[in-house]
Structure 1
Amino acid sequence: MTSIDPAEIAKFEAMAAEWWDTKGKFKPLHMMNPVRLDYIVTQIAAEFGLDRNAPRPFDGLRILDIGCGGGLISEPMARLGATVVGADAAEGNIAVARLHAEQQGLKIDYRATTAESLLQDDEAFDVVLALEIVEHVAEPAEFVATCHDLARPGGLVLMSTLNRTVKSFGAAIIGAEWVMRWLPKGTHDWDRFITPEELAQMMVQAGLAPVDRRGMVFNPITWGWSLSDRDLTVNYAISGRRTV
């Protein structure tokens, strides 16, 4: 079985060369990335009792970045000391990620593969990151269960995605795709967006205990992003600990 939706993979394969272009099709991700990274680092440090201000706070942690794209999160995780496996079903993404990591002098184990294949190979991780991917897979609940299985007991699974609200339709589709044209039309399918409550329930059913959820909010006046305890209406992140 696989969670891969070939049509969704094709969308991102077509944009692979632009992953590290801060003014290209992935501009929204580059803008959001510092806030997204701050959430990830804070959650991992808290769950594992680490000092996030240490030179290499994630030394000794094995982290999987599933759906890693061009490596926007894999690279900072490696700089923080983690042993990183970056996996993506789109071979074009992996080629770009490998080249960029090499140029940066970073050692990252990039693989053109799926979460299910990693599980079949008995891979296990302290942290599983699944960022902006669950809304693109064929069976979200099965994908969440696979992420659970890839985490070691006591491990952490972090996901970020888009809420299914009127506001998210306006921001992610009308704004980002139709008006600003940051992304090609059709990159997102609003019907596939997942509410925080739905994703939390998928986690619980898979054996993950949700420990935190946070909104990532764009301010059109300051043209910047921030984390929010209250506003999860568009982009949000959720983390869960493997309990069984």
Structure 2
Amino acid sequence: MPQTLEKHARHHNPNPANNSTVDPTEVSHFNALASSWWDPHGPSRLLHLMNPLRHNFITQCRSTDPSTPASSSPSHKLRYLDIGCGGGIFAESAARLPNTLSVTAIDPTPEVLKIAEGHKRRDPVLSAPGRLTYLNTPIEKLPLPASPADAYDIVSCFEVLEHVHAPGPFLEHIMPHVKPGGCGGRVGDGAEGDA
């Protein structure tokens, strides 16, 4: 059963070390794959195939979690943070959902984000101000929300944890970005899903 990141809250250190969890070797690897990111038959093929399952995972997480706030009604617009967004496969699809207010998608890989920005420009809905924002930054440098209410309803971190060299501190940096009662999800490297 999907769970929220809140189960890890007891391990959260509000002042983790400022050292980056980004692995420079992984950044180089993904920069090299940038031009093929949106090829559904290329090296990122599995990401394209898994994308609908990711949305199902989030929907299930939100519908089965008793701590999901009443503001999760169909009329409530959700704010997403997609960590390690790569070329934007999940971020774009989340930004197109009718119950999405905005998606902030971050990645430390500049060449991949250039591809994501270029692909975004093809769709006027995604190009609307504030709908989908790409930032070339690791989670450690993303400004913290001013208050818990300003955090994100959905924080996704799909296929990322296996690419960072310090998973514990990486997850600690994510926690302040999840709104109380929000949903945080991670799937990667053989994991069926956990939050």
Q: TM class, shorter-chain normalised? A: 0.7 to 0.9
Question: Does the 8 A contact of 1:65 with 1:87 survive in 2?
Answer: yes
The aligned runs of 1:57-96 (5 Å cut-off) are 57=74, 59-80=76-97, 81-82=99-100, 83-96=102-115
Which residue is equivalent to 1:236? 192
Matches of 2:21 and 2:134, distance apart in 1:
19
Matches of 1:62 and 1:120, distance apart in 2:
15
Match of 2:134 among 110, 123, 126: 110
Which residue is equivalent to 1:101? 120
Q: How many aligned residue pairs are there?
A: 163
Q: Structure 1 unaligned runs (5+)?
A: 52-56, 163-233, 240-244
Which of the pair has more CA radius of gyration? 1
Q: Structure 2 unaligned runs (5+)?
A: 1-18
Q: Does 1:136 align with 2:163?
A: yes
Question: Does the 8 A contact of 1:68 with 1:74 survive in 2?
Answer: yes
Which residue is equivalent to 2:26? 8
TM-score, scaled relative to structure 1: 0.61
- Given the superposition, is the C-alpha separation of residues 135 and 236 from structure 1 closer, same or farther in structure 2, using an over 3 Å criterion? same
Which residue is equivalent to 1:228? none
The aligned runs of 1:136-155 (5 Å cut-off) are 136-155=163-182
Match of 1:125 among 143, 152, 163: 152
Higher relative contact order (CA 8 A, sep 6+): 2
Compute the RMSD of aligned alpha carbons: 2.1
- Given the superposition, is the C-alpha separation of residues 58 and 114 from structure 1 closer, same or farther in structure 2, using an over 3 Å criterion? farther
The one-letter code sitting in structure 2 at the alignment partner of 1:94 is: L
TM-score, scaled relative to structure 2: 0.75
Higher strand share: 1
Question: Does the 8 A contact of 1:119 with 1:146 survive in 2?
Answer: no
Which residue is equivalent to 1:168? none
| Percent identity of equivalent pairs | 33
Which residue is equivalent to 2:7? none
Question: Does the 8 A contact of 1:119 with 1:150 survive in 2?
Answer: no
Matches of 2:59 and 2:113, distance apart in 1:
23
Q: What is the Cα deviation at residue 120 of structure 1?
A: 5.1
Matches of 1:24 and 1:41, distance apart in 2:
28
Structure 1 runs (4+) greater than 6 angstroms displaced:
none
Question: Does the 8 A contact of 1:87 with 1:111 survive in 2?
Answer: yes
